[in-house]
């Protein structure tokens, strides 16, 4: 049974996710092929969003995710045609920490392939820092998520730029919100891969906020960004039957539409906050990890986040009542500047390839 389960999981991640380019493009296409280093295949919207943004940033060139579970012919290309791979794209998320598939990715560096760092977060204590020092020893372009990541990477790579979250490459000015008044809707999200300090306090405060919104006549929609979140959303609905549990979005545009039609959002997932920002939706970020602080610091928005232990109904209500205080013109100006820097670095990365 274990063997069957492993085979099924391999097939699902390698052949049903849509992450891998067609074989004919790899072997016969004229576009450049970049190896992609990043989490994929776990039904995590944040990972999918980062990959979607990287594909947009480097279009019409091809991204080939390299990992253990990949289609056989694409895996063969990665190993047998390594010389044809033009460069390496390190995706978003907090990736500069543990280093997986080290032999393959370091071999690209040995071949003098350039590296593009796409808004990646950097752990405070970088595991396998010797490997990352080697990975970043050649031609490096792009930048990290925020100032905390830049500081964490400083001992290994001092010339690092701050380019904001990878999803900023998807930025669109939120003109639709200015044209139509948002519905009387509030978006909520809960979810994290691991438990965190203050988690019980967070969930209690969110439950109380849902009760408050119900009294005020607001429609509460729970937006899951991972299968973990979905289970939490269903639990919330059991307590509050009026809550609408949405499907997990599959694209940037689908997620953005939810935020465009909401008056306020409060949640735990990092890319829940990212999507709120990109849609111009007033928000409160529950900062259960340093990655949240890093993101908000990149946009001078540190005051719009709160630690789980600090969260309370009164604090959420205050943020909700002051939701019109966001200076979206300044926020989008900063996002556009970071997006332009991502594009400039991406162009330099592509142009560096012989």
Helix H or strand E segment including 186: strand 185-189
Average pLDDT of the chain to the nearest whole number: 93
Query: Which pLDDT band, with edges at 50, 70 and 90, does 175 fall under?
Result: low
> Helix, strand, or coil here: 34?
strand
- Domain 2-168+336-351, CATH class in plain words: alpha beta
pLDDT bin (cut points 50, 70, 90) of residue 155 is: confident
Q: Looking at the predicted structure, is the pLDDT value of residue 262 above 70?
A: yes
pLDDT tens track for 78-103: 999 999 999 999 998 899 988 889 99
- pLDDT at site 16: 81
| Other CB atoms within 10 A of residue 299 CB | 19
Instruction: Spell out the CATH class of 175-321.
Output: alpha beta
Can you give the pLDDT at residue 179?
58
Least confident of 2-11, 50-59, 247-256, 320-329: 2-11
Torsion of CA 63, 67, 69, 72, to 10 degrees: 60
Structure tokens at 346: 């991406």
**pLDDT for position 158:** 84
> According to CATH, where is 3.40.50.2000 located in the chain?
175-321
Instruction: Tell which residue, 184, 150, 148, 143, has the closest CA to residue 164.
Output: 143
Output the pLDDT for position 6: 77
pTM: 0.94
List the beta bridge partners of residue 89: 36, 116
pLDDT digits (tens, 9 = 90+) for 228-260: 999 999 999 999 999 999 999 999 999 999 999
**Helix ranges (DSSP H) in 299-327:** 313-321
In tens, the pLDDT along 125-142 reads 898 899 999 999 999 999
72 vs 16, which has greater pLDDT? 72
């Amino acid at each position: 049974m274990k063997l069957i389960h492993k085979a099924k999981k391999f097939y699902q991640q390698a052949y049903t996710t849509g992450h891998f380019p067609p074989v004919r493009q790899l072997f016969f296409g004229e576009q450049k092929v970049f190896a992609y280093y990043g989490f994929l295949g776990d039904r995590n919207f944040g990972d999918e969003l980062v990959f979607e943004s990287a594909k947009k940033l480097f279009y019409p060139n091809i991204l080939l995710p390299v990992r253990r579970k990949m289609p056989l012919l694409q895996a063969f290309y990665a190993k047998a045609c390594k010389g044809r791979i033009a460069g390496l794209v390190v995706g978003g998320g907090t990736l500069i920490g543990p280093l997986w598939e080290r032999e393959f990715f370091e071999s690209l560096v040995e071949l003098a392939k350039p590296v593009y760092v796409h808004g990646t977060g950097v752990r405070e204590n970088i595991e396998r820092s010797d490997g990352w020092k080697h990975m970043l020893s050649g031609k490096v372009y792009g930048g990290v998520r925020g100032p905390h990541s830049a500081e964490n990477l400083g001992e290994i790579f001092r010339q690092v730029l701050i380019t904001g979250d990878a999803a900023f490459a998807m930025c669109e000015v939120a003109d639709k919100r200015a044209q139509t008044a948002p519905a009387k809707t509030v978006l909520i999200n809960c979810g994290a891969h691991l438990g965190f300090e203050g988690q019980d306090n967070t969930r209690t405060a969110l439950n109380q906020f849902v009760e408050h919104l119900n009294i005020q006549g607001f429609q509460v929609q729970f937006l899951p960004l991972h299968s973990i979140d979905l289970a939490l959303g269903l639990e919330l609905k059991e307590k509050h039957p009026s809550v609408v549990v949405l499907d997990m979005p599959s694209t940037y545009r689908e997620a953005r539409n939810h935020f465009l039609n909401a008056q306020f959002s409060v949640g735990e997932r990092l890319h829940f906050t990212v999507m709120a920002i990109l849609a111009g939706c007033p928000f409160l970020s529950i900062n259960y990890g340093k990655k949240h602080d890093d993101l908000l610091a990149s946009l001078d928005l540190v005051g719009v986040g709160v630690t789980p232990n600090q969260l309370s109904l009164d604090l959420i209500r205050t943020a909700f009542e002051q939701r019109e205080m966001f200076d979206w013109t300044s926020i989008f100006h900063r996002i556009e500047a970071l997006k332009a820097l991502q594009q400039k670095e991406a162009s330099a990365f592509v142009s560096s390839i012989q």
